[in-house]
Structure formats: structure tokens, C-alpha cells
Structure 1
Amino acid sequence: MPEPSASPKRRGRLLRCGAACVVLSAVAGYVVVQYVTGGAGAPGCRVVSAETAAAYEFTPEQAVNAATIAAVGTNRNMPRRAVTIALATALQESALRNLDHGDRDSLGLFQQRPSQGWGSAQEVTDPAYAANIFYEHLAKVPDYTELPLTVAAQRVQRSGYPEAYAKHEPDAALLAAALTGTSAASLTCDGRPAAATAAATATGPDAVRAALVRDFGRDALQQAGAEVGGVQASAADGAPPVAETGGRTVTLPVAGQTAADGREAAERGWQLAHWAVANASALRIERVTYAGREWVAGHTGSTWRATGSTEAAGATGAGAGGGTGSVRIVTAQ
């Protein structure tokens, strides 16, 4: 005798259960993507290795935080290995997002705990402060540049899962090479304006200048003796060495200079250029030019294109070599 077919009511319940499972799976997938990408939609930034063609894609939010971590490190005269360690740590602890929550009282990019002496809640959720105090602790680890990344990071973090840092080392190394200027023209972003948030409300040359001081420090950016609006910048007003042209252009002279940590001018220039691209969405930066190359916002997969300028002929090779002149940053207003 054949089995009775399912009743219409039962079939309806099965269909509803199946639809619910599909919806739950989609929601779970969305949550995972949002966690990995920092909740800012599809990745809008990309860094590519000139040597191996390895690539890492990330969001504008993550790019801003990564650029801050690198800038703070070089301003402290930390080597690129230290920047790699810091970036790998932040990738593991927060996916390069400035979190306002975590295990117990852990907060910020590095999930630092105020109760453990890392600083106040307000301080550890300031990316520049969080990066600075991470480097302060890392610098006290004997021979940290010779240690495996996992070991060096764990000496600072005291994590319950120390082996987890290792998987982020390749991506962190790519980011560190670009954001310290060692790898030329290797970081690009779409540069679409960020959503209206507290971090993205201030734009224009003044906002760029303030962000440069925030990440690189006032003293490091006053060494060039540049002009603002054709007038010599005053050290007393906290202005970094920038010159403003036509109301929208910030110029950072790097020719003939060495960075605070002794790096050549070309590396310093590419660090500043990549920093500007990483901050393009937040600060509404439209164009960045350096060493005969130009990045323009608004193009998916945008690349650094040759400008034909003779300012820095020969600066198209691998690495940072050859860059001279100034980094020019054009804002939307």
C-alpha cells in the first residue's frame, strides 16, 4: 500500500522551515562578511606586492587604521618589522577596526584593557594612542626583530591564543611594505566618500593637515619648513610642513630629506602618498601625485598612473627608488 502523501499543511510547514533556514544562512554569511571587512561593505582598497603579485584587499576603515599604525611606528623610529608585528596583531585582535567592545574590558584596535594599565577607555580607542603604546611595549621585548612574529606579539599582548597571530603575517608584511613606503605605488583605494560619521565630517586641506599631525606627530611634519598659502608655517600653530595652492591642494616636500628614522626621501614620499590614498574616503581626497605617478579617486581598481612629469623621472621601478620632489594631495574642497 503506497505511503500517504504529505498533507498541504505539512508541506507548507516544510517550505516555511526551508525558507527560514535559507534566510538564517544568508544572515549568518552577511554577519561574517561584515566582521571580516569591518562592516563597510565590499573592500575598497588593495595592496599588491611588486615582487610576488600577492594581494590583500581591505576596507577604507581598515586602511585608515593601518596607515595610522604604520605612521606612528615610523615616527617612533621603529623598523618595518615592528610595523609588520603591530599590523598582524591588530588584524587578529580587531580586524583593523576600532572596536568599542571586546572580551571583558578589551577595547580598540589592539583590544587593550584599561584595567590592565593600557590607558583609559578613551585612550585605547584612539588609534594613534593605541598604536603608540603597543610599540612602547614591543620596544621593551629583547631582540623582538629576530623573534618569530607570534612570539613577539605574544610578549606584548599576553593572548589566550598566541598562535593566531601567525596567519596574518603575510598580509601584514604586504601592508607594512606599502605603508612605510618601501614598496612604491602599491596601495590603491576606490576613494569614494565615506558615510557621514564623526571621523569623516571634516574635509579639505585643514582636515588633511590635522590628520597628518595626528598620525605622524607635529615635530616630524615640521622639519621640511614648508609654506601654507605662501606663508611660512609657524611652529607655534602646530601646522605640519604643508603648502596650500588654490585652496584644495596640500603639498608635502620630501626632496633632499631623510625621514626621522633615517630612511631615504623616496620611502618617506611613498609613505605619505600611500597614507593619503588610505585616507581618501574619510578625508575626501580626490588626487595624489608623487614621483611621476598619480592616483585619482573614483575608479574601481584604480592604479597609479604615469603623469609624464619630469619631476621624478626614473621613479617607476620596484621599491621606493627614485622618488623626489613633493607629495601633492588634492581634496574635494
Structure 2
Amino acid sequence: MSGEPAVAAQVRRKLRVGVLATAVTVALALLCCVGGAGAFFLTELGGDQEDPKLAALDCDPAYRVNLTGDMPRFAEYGEAQLRNAAVIIKVGQDMKVPARGWVIALATAMQESALRNLANTTVPASLALPHEGVGADHDSLGLFQQRPGWGSVEQRMTPSYTARKFYQKMVKVPNWQQRPLTVVAQRVQVSAFPDAYAKHEELAGRIVDALAGGAARTVEIAGRAVCDAAAGARIAASGWTAPLPGGVVSGFRTAARRSHNGVDLAAGKRTPIHAASAGRVLVARCDPDRSGRRDCDRDGWPDKGGCGWFVDILHAGGFITRYCHMIERPRVTPGQAVEAGEVIGLSGSSGNSSGPHLHFEVHNSGDRSSRGAEDPLPFMRKRGAPLGKSE
């Protein structure tokens, strides 16, 4: 590669310094991946350029939620509901609960009460407690629809009290920051519909970001909230982590590879691959090559076709992540529940590949086809788990 110095110069302009070292290490591999038409070079990063709007989005771990100021606009909720959300976050801040807990608490209250402080038909009229509607359960009250064992009527109708009680029980759940939101919320609430919490996780993270200085992008490291550092065993408050620390060496649907529905991350053979978020395994198998053969237990080559050994995981909000070119059979099986950061396999070069790396895809709306694919770089950046972040 006589042109390597020029390539390296272009990479320096396009990648963060932390990503460069890893990317240059694999430059000579001339990787090739699913949807490509031959080996690619580091100049074909295309989709890795950061969206200016994302670059301008600040993440301030020290930001204190404002209970009295103007509320952000969300089509799903009005001002009163967002003020209740702000109360939930403030209580979490006062209790020094990591921001992941705020997301879990918000998603729970969104399911239980739609962020409304609900009364019920058993509340004596003489109490004249302020409320925002009447709930369906005969003895459940407030934002979290807590029953009599949680406190008096007056207490359960006080948003700050109910939020504190939720957090006190939540932090006792073992490994609560890594476990699926539905599991943690259910351990606290003991709901008849435990899976219902999942659909609120994505919006809960966006509300936390809007009200608390991008806090859903933070991760707790040595007791301190740090922005955009989620990788490996570290999980952002959004519930996401980078699948591995390698830099991006080929982007999403570049000019040279328009059918490249993901990004390629630098990785040597047998690098642990982590589930990007908690979810359920949809697929874990050997992808047939162009001839229809399932031949994944050896290195692949350009134009072989197929993902090699690969895994698809369904996450909250209908998102699907895909992990291709594993060196051996994945460590997970279809139907298995996985935690964020769990090792699901090891990187390799099986399938349509000419060098070890991880091909990583994100799909929305539960659509595993190319129609549902979106650029993983801005997707992961918004969730505090930017691809290529060094450990």
C-alpha cells in the first residue's frame, strides 16, 4: 500500500484521535464485508462523519433539573406531565441514584399513569387532594400507582414521595443497571403486565436528556457520571453500550458501497462482542454464502457472501442490532434474554470478509431487512455509546 501515508492523513481528519490508533492497525487488512463488492480502503468511511446537530448536543452530568422553568415539547405529553417527570428526575438526583435509574423510573411511571398524578374512587372527598385524573385500579394511587402498603393516601398522592419509594426499592435489585428495564421495573412494581414497560424506554431516555442535560448519555465510572463513555461492561443511562472498542473502518452506505447496511468496526480475532443493549436473541446461526452453503468455521473471503456466524437481537422500542463475521458459533441462542454488555460471541472473519472485524447494523421498527437499516453512528452517539470509543 504505497498510498498509506495519504490515507492516514485523511483518516486523521475524519476520525477522533482515540479511534485512529485502532483503525490504522487494521488498515492493511483491506476488509470486505456484507453488501460490498471487493476490498475497501480507509478513505471510504462515508457514513462515519458526525452529524453537526449531534456534535452540538451537550451532555452535562452536573446539570440540575429545573422544576419551574419552561418544559420541552413532546407530542406524547403535556406540560403538567413533563413537570411530574422533572420531579422524578430531581428526586433521583437528590438521592444520587445514577441516571440509568431515572430512565427506569420514568418509563415505569409512563406505563402506570402516563405521568399523571392519579387519584381513585376510594379517596375520601374530604381530603380534597389535588390530582390529574382517576385511575382504573381501585386502591392504587399516584404516578406509580402504588397500593396501600407503600404509604398513606396523602403520601402516595405526593409525586416526590412516590418517586423516592420507587428508587429505594429499585436500587436493591441486584445488578439493576445492566438488567433489562422490564425486569427491574417488574421487581419493584410486581405488575400484571411486566413486558409493557419496555415500550416506554426509548422515549424515557429522550425525556431524561431534554430535562437533565443529556443525562441518558452518561455512564457511572468510579462513582462519577461521564458522558459518552459506554463500551464493554459500561452501560449508558440510555441502556446502550458499544459492542466493542474498535474504530470504524467502513461506513454506512458509502458512495463505493451503497448496499453496506451497517458499519465495520476494527477488531482482531477473538475480540469479545457485547450486546449493545438488553434484549432477546432473534437469530444466532451461520448465514449461507452465495452458493447456499453454511460454511462458517473458517475464514471467509471477498464476494463469498453472507454474514458468517451472526446474531440478531431485538431491543426495546423495536430496534434490532446485528453482529456479523464471528469466528465461531455464537454464545447465545434464539429466544434467549441477554443483558446489556453481555458477551454474545467473538469477532472473526467468517462469511463475506477478507480480514477480522465486526460488521454492526441497527434496524428500526422491527424490520430486519435492508429497509429497516439506519446508520449506527448517529444512533449510538445519541445514546451515549459512540462507536470507536476507546476503553
Higher relative contact order (CA 8 A, sep 6+): 2
Q: Please, what TM-score do these two structures have when normalized by structure 2?
A: 0.33
Q: Which has the higher helix share?
A: 1
Q: Please, what TM-score do these two structures have when normalized by structure 1?
A: 0.39
